[in-house]
Structure 1
């Protein structure tokens, strides 16, 4: 049995790998990330990409020590009991290295599938509460934001406790994660947002029961790093466009992003005109929503982020050259962490 609960000490190094690439390519990147010193690798989950659990299984085969899991799945596209079983399977095949990254999902993506993201905070909390009970071997009947009757798993994950990381951005989800989960993936890259999130997390930690144990906050940050500053910033345009398209008004105001400019990006995305949407991303948007630049620039931004969180998950796009970006991100984390 292995205990995968978060530990204190040096900052946690995480990486988000996006299954827009074939599973074997993502597995090779996970192996490279392990060699470069990363602690945990998440396979992102979007209905239009490859399945994150299939990809995690390839990642497990290609690695030996790095923790692995979806980052993040939502309990609308897939029933929570099924998510618990899939995560337990990853924990089993990886020899106890599984983690469970769960969140409410992107509202616009879910609407494409005709799914109403109803009562997101309650549904996420009920999902990982149920998962924990199932992983402990319990048979569950649940009536809440979803229904489960006499549900149980026909496998026992090797971990004593599979850590739950909640993807969060809003104040209520942040506070809930700090009170109930093992960790949080703060959907932000800028110190201003991370400082604000840290205040919300502090409120949740104040209400956290002692038996919950350690809690870890990780910046789930979009990062683009390359040898050339301009190339890194250009590669950041696609993810920044999607971040801007879903950004809440208070977030835009916090960074003084022009509302009309943000609406132009959002409108182009809704029309499916990705070229126009990416082209309308401004330098200010890249600065606000992505850590982009050379290794030195990114290291400085990582150091600023680590003033407010326990670690960083280096998220997509990573950079124009993925293998090079993984190595550069590791170097930047070394500089920022002082290890």
Structure 2
């Protein structure tokens, strides 16, 4: 069954998050996703707040930039949230935007090596195991979480290029694809992920989460076009969704057919009613998707 979600964009003031999360939870939305974009909002703090005011809603972070975070601390934060809100936290990690990483003195010469070392150590720590390693970037000496989760959450990796997509398939439990992916490109990305999984001998489930810009209401197509222009996307490509609930459902079907397990709608920057938007996705779109 396809999961549907909505992004709470970090450019929205953080004090609005709790009301949007409550509206999403009450409406029956499955997932609310956050971005830890520099220098807007903390992903962990925002996720904790959203989880604390909801009962059923799953809350994801897509993604935590690994150059920003010591792996032991990040694992402690994830374990804490998973213990307090079992099965409702969806943590994603990734390279981060390299320009931003440079701004804070965290840019590394080999982002791929850093991401692999980080994901490997994090997944082991979250299983409650002791880790000692001396890698190029990750160094741990007999580190073990005192409060590991009863069931470790899936760790997802945000990926764009083929090397990171294959790494996600090899090392992670799922992959996050951002809004620059058309259904055709999602299909290609899934092929790269599967190649990584095959190389690692992975046969366990691997969740593919796809973000896509989506808007409804008056002038939806024009608003979507302006959104793509703002992101620097090709406005002639088959990106995003615009229109009524039926249009959202048809758009979802195209992404699911390409290999998406979850589709997360990103409202446009000019969306004035986020609470109404999450209700629309949960109550009008989801029944058409199944």
TM-score bin (small chain): 0.7 to 0.9
Alignment equivalent of 1:296, drawn from 246, 255, 260: 246
Gap change, CA 1:106 and 1:334, over 3 Å in 2: farther
- Please give the alpha-carbon distance, in whole angstroms, between the structure 2 residues aligned to 1:41 and 1:151: 35
Runs of 4+ in 1 over 6 A off after TM superposition: none
Aligned residue number for residue 247 of structure 1: none
Gap change, CA 1:303 and 1:74, over 3 Å in 2: same
1:231-263 per-position Cα deviation (integer Å, ceiling 9, x unaligned)? 56426645652354xxxxxxxxxxxx4xxxxxx
Alignment equivalent of 1:209, drawn from 188, 193, 201: 201
Does residue 149 of structure 2 align to residue 198 of structure 1?
no
Aligned residue number for residue 241 of structure 1: 230
Does residue 78 of structure 2 align to residue 87 of structure 1?
yes
Aligned residue number for residue 186 of structure 1: 177
Number of aligned residue pairs: 286
Mapping of 1:1-339 within 5 angstroms?
10-150=1-141, 152=143, 155-188=146-179, 189-210=181-202, 213-221=204-212, 223-228=213-218, 230-231=219-220, 233-234=222-223, 237-238=226-227, 241-242=230-231, 244=233, 257=234, 283-284=235-236, 287-308=237-258, 309-317=260-268, 319-330=271-282, 331-335=284-288, 337=289, 339=290
1:135-158 per-position Cα deviation (integer Å, ceiling 9, x unaligned)? 233333322241323263554243
- Does structure 2 retain, via aligned residues, the 8 Å contact 1:96–1:158? no
Gap change, CA 1:86 and 1:108, over 3 Å in 2: same
- Please give the alpha-carbon distance, in whole angstroms, between the structure 1 residues aligned to 2:95 and 2:242: 27
- Please give the alpha-carbon distance, in whole angstroms, between the structure 2 residues aligned to 1:297 and 1:62: 31
Q: TM-score, structure 1 length as denominator?
A: 0.75
Q: TM-score, structure 2 length as denominator?
A: 0.86
Structure 2 unaligned segments of length 5 or more: list them: none
Gap change, CA 1:157 and 1:239, over 3 Å in 2: farther
- Does structure 1 retain, via aligned residues, the 8 Å contact 2:157–2:174? yes
- Does structure 2 retain, via aligned residues, the 8 Å contact 1:194–1:305? yes
